[in-house]
């Protein structure tokens, strides 16, 4: 598990290979990742946006940005936690993701960024 704390918010990530999909001449790998977000601040926060930097060892770099996560805008009370699972497709067996969320302090309406840890997306067998 990879984890990072930024501005009083801890983001932890676990990623796994799900499946290989072949469609004609196109082959890609599907990876799932589960994110756990914990609010250690003394104020409630709301997740507004996410921004991902994705690296695919065959296709190179890409970015994904948008509102919420998996169609939701979770609110985390003080000491609150939220968890969600999403997926990413790569053309290769190996890549990485990292990025940030934009949260709103619900007491002051100020926004702030929370970084995600960099994590690996891998379908390569681990050799002993």
Its pTM stands at 0.93
Domains and CATH numbers, the chain: 2-120 (2.60.40.1470)
CA distance 33 to 42: 28
Residue given tokens 């995600």 in the structure block: 116
> pLDDT in tens for each of the 128 residues of the chain?
899 999 999 999 999 999 999 999 999 999 999 999 999 999 999 999 999 999 999 999 999 999 999 999 999 999 999 999 999 999 999 999 999 999 999 999 999 999 999 999 999 865 44
Is the Cβ–Cβ distance between 68 and 111 less than 8 Å? no
Spell out the residues 6+ positions from residue 119 whose beta carbon is closer than 8 angstroms to its own: 2, 13, 15, 33, 96, 97, 98
What is the 8-class DSSP label of residue 40? Answer: -
């Amino acid at each position: 598990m990879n984890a990072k704390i930024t501005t009083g918010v801890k983001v932890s990530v676990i990623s796994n290979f799900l499946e290989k999909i072949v469609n004609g001449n196109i082959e890609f790998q599907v990876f799932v990742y589960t994110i756990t977000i914990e609010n250690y601040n003394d104020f409630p926060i709301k997740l507004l946006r996410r921004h991902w930097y994705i690296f695919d060892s065959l296709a190179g770099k890409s970015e994904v940005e948008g509102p919420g996560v998996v169609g939701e805008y979770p609110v985390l009370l003080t000491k609150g936690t939220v968890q969600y699972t999403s997926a990413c497709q790569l053309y290769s067996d190996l890549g990485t993701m990292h990025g940030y969320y934009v949260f709103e302090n619900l007491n002051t309406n100020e926004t702030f960024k929370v970084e995600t840890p960099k994590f690996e997306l891998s379908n390569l067998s681990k050799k002993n």
